[in-house]
Amino acid sequence: MSQQNPAPYGTPPPPPPTAEQLAAYPVYRPIVTYTLIGICVAVYLIQMATQTLLGVDLPAALGVKANNLIEQGQVWRLFTPIFLHGYILHVAFNMYALFNLGPTLEKFYGRWRFLALFLISGFAGNVLSFMFSPYQSLGSSTAIFGLLGAEGVLIYQNRELFGNIARRALSQVVFFAVINLVIGLTPGARIDNWGHIGGLLGGLLFAWFGGPLLQKQGLFPPYSLANARSQREVILAGVGVGALFSFLTIAVIFMRGG
């Protein structure tokens, strides 16, 4: 999430182990991931077009995270920054990270659960930014940090299934998250670290209570994988995390208005 400049992502960690060594998993097309990338790129092109033709970045003007406008009731600004970007490198880095993280997570989560993870993470990041950062900001890195947290939870909660490579993959996820948070603390970086932290927390919470719990099925290899997490648990996780950050938003608006 950038306040003005693009977030300088490092190289994303490799996707978490797919457990292909242990189970045969169906071929999956990450439609939601590619759709989200397409939306972000299309919105950025509209931003560039309005900037050129009208002299103002109209989508950003209508959707950037701006605390004073959120306090006036424009709460959609806690979601719309997810699809807005400030510069070509900003959108390029974020889409590269989404392209690396999204397909594997969507494969294990399924399309609708993955979409919920992305939106809840982005919302949580913008809420924490609204709480602690006075600056305007935009960018999908709030949601991407949530995906990063969810990847870590996926590996940890299914570490017995993934075997020896789980610890190495988890270490890479933690390293990548820490490095990018440290970059955000660099003087002059102008990166909204509160948004990143909020997205990470939102993704961790949703993934911990609603992420896939994988089980092997079958007596002989190749095994199949089944998700033991019920749809009811996923819905409760989504509603719970969404309600938590909604409550924080309402509380902050009330306190500032008072």
End-to-end CA separation in angstroms for the chain: 29
- Among 140, 141, 224, 230, the active-site one is 141
Residue 196 annotated as catalytic: yes
**Cβ–Cβ under 8 Å, residues 102 and 40:** no
- Among 196, 224, 230, 246, the active-site one is 196
Cross-strand pairs, 226: 215
> Which ranges of the chain would DSSP assign to H, the alpha helix?
31-54, 58-63, 67-71, 88-109, 111-132, 141-157, 159-162, 165-184, 193-210, 231-257
DSSP code for 228:
-
Dump the DSSP string for 40-106: HHHHHHHHHHHHHHHSS-HHHHHHSB-HHHHHTT-GGGGTGGGG--SSHHHHHHHHHHHHHHHHHHH
Q: How many CA atoms lie within 13 A of 151 on its CB side?
A: 35
How far apart (Å, rounded) are the C-alpha atoms in residues 151 and 3? 26
How far apart (Å, rounded) are the C-alpha atoms in residues 102 and 71? 32
Which residues form the catalytic set?
A: 141, 196
